Structures are given as structure tokens and as C-alpha cells.
Amino acid sequence: MDVALAAAHVSIEGLGKTYKSPRGDVVALQTLDLQLPRGAFVSLLGPSGCGKSTLLKIVSGVEAPSSGDIRIGGEVMRGPPDGLGMVFQRDVLMDWRSILDNVMLPVEFLELPRKEYRPKARELLRLFGLGDFMDRYPWELSGGMRQRAAICRALLTDPQLLLMDEPFGALDAFTRDELNLELQKTWLRTRKTVLFVTHSIPEAIFLSDRIVVMAARPGRIVEVIDVDFPRPRPLSVREEPEFARLARHIREIFEATGALGGGDVG
């Protein structure tokens, strides 16, 4: 699919971020442009310090850019946009709320009708295999289940834009594969625009329509790669030669920019 021609849902223009510090300015993000086509799954892939999480925070409206604009549906964004779902690396569930009440949090914050959303929350939890755990507390669940609940929370109000900040980074490999499949299924069903931050090359290739490869010091985009494997993709797609070729290509970018192996350590 030619994502470049699809309508841009999120358009990032001339965006930069510099942190002021007593020892001088630190460039977290060099001026960059990026388009997120509506309904596309886009990954930000790079080593720590490449600014991928900063970029996500700016798109979420939690942090302000030093320069440039973000347009969502053509309108310049000021603060957190409407219709935004957010998933963090840690599940950020509230210990004092049951799983169901955690998932209902956005409804309470956005002052939507609880009666209408409660059945939706239950349905969503059932869909994510948490039907028997709705009335449990977060600490009674495993890491994978907790992250599923966090995804349910982000999906409940049916936001059009889903931002995910290394959501599976803290999970073991099995759970991670399982949730990759589940996320793909959900995305195919709902076709939300997803911006997904990861430092795993295979995860980025498996999930994405488009991978934005970033490098550190200063944080910048080095290459944008479209991924065309047909969907739904099985986990075995990772053994295909084309997959390996893409992975090698990305690894070579990292080597060239000093993120992997090559001389420039630090």
C-alpha cells in the first residue's frame, strides 16, 4: 500500500526539541518532518537517546516542542489532542482501582456517560482475555495481563490516534510475541493510526506499515522504511528472507550511525 499518498492524520512539521541546561543546550530532536497517514501503523525505532520517546510525548501534547508544529487532521495542535489513546512502557494502572475501574478511567476523566461505557469496557476486557479478572486488582495480575488492561484502557473511548511508548519492552519474549499478535489483530479490526515506539528491530518490522529509523546525539530521523508484508502477518513472517534483509538493512543503519558496535561508543 502506498501510505505516502494516503491522507495524513498527523503531520509533524519542522519539529525540534532542545533542552536548556547549565552546561549548554542539549538537542533532543533535530528539526524533523514526519507524516502519519490515517489508519497507518508507524514505528519509531532507534537506540536510547534518539528522542523517540520525546517525539511521542510531544505528539501526546504532554511536552511542548521548542520549534515547529504538529497538525492533527489539518489543525495545529495545542496541548493534548482529542481522540488520543496512550500506552506506556509500564502499565500505569492504579493500584487502588479494580481492572474494570482502571479501564474506565478515561471515561471518568473525559466525563463521558459511564452507563454507556461500562458494558463496552467489559466487552473489551473479555476480548483481551481478561473477562475473569475485571474485579481483580492490578497486583493480582501478571505483567502481560496488566499491559493488556492498559491497552484496553487506551482503546475504550475509541480514540483515532494510539500512541504506544515501548509498551512491550518490560515483558518476556513469549508474552511479547503474544501481545504483538494481539495488537495486530486489534489494529486490523479498528484501523487506528498508531505511533509505536520500540527499540526492537523485529518487533518494528512485524507490526509496522512504516518504520522511522532514528539515531542519537542529536536525535534525528535517518531513514523511513515502508514494510509491505501482507496482513495478517503470522509470527513466522520473521523467518522470511525479506524480513531478514530488512532487519539487516536497519542494523547496518545503526552500525553506521554508531548505535551498534562501530567505533563511536557513548
Question: Per this entry, what is the length of the chain?
Answer: 266
Rounded distance, CA 66 to CA 17, Å?
Answer: 5
Binding of residue 174 to another protein (CB under 8 A): no
Q: Draw the binding track, 205-244, toward another protein (x: CB under 8 A; -: no contact).
A: ----------------------------------------
Q: How far is the CB of 57 from another protein (least distance, A)?
A: 7
Binding of residue 168 to another protein (CB under 8 A): no
Q: What angle do CA 155, 132, 149 make, to 5 degrees?
A: 25
Binding of residue 149 to another protein (CB under 8 A): no
Q: How far is the CB of 9 from another protein (least distance, A)?
A: 17
Strands lying side by side in the sheet with 220-226: 84-87, 161-165, 193-198, 41-45, 210-215, 220-226
Q: How far is the CB of 108 from another protein (least distance, A)?
A: 7
Residues 6+ apart with CB under 8 A from 22: none
Nearest to 194 by CA among 219, 215, 165: 165
Contact assessment for residue 40 and residue 209, using Cβ atoms and an 8 Å cutoff: yes
Instruction: Map grid coordinates 489494529 to a residue.
Output: 187
> Which range, of 19-27, 139-147, 176-184, 252-260, touches another protein by CB under 8 A?
139-147
Contact assessment for residue 127 and residue 142, using Cβ atoms and an 8 Å cutoff: no
Task: Kindly state the greatest CA–CA separation across the chain.
Answer: 59
- 6/92 with CB nearer another protein: 92
Binding of residue 105 to another protein (CB under 8 A): yes
- 86/214 with CB nearer another protein: 86
- 3/99 with CB nearer another protein: 99
Binding of residue 139 to another protein (CB under 8 A): yes
Binding of residue 118 to another protein (CB under 8 A): no
Chain positions contacting another protein, by CB under 8 A: 57, 60-62, 79-80, 84, 86, 88, 90, 92, 94-96, 105-106, 108-110, 136-142, 145
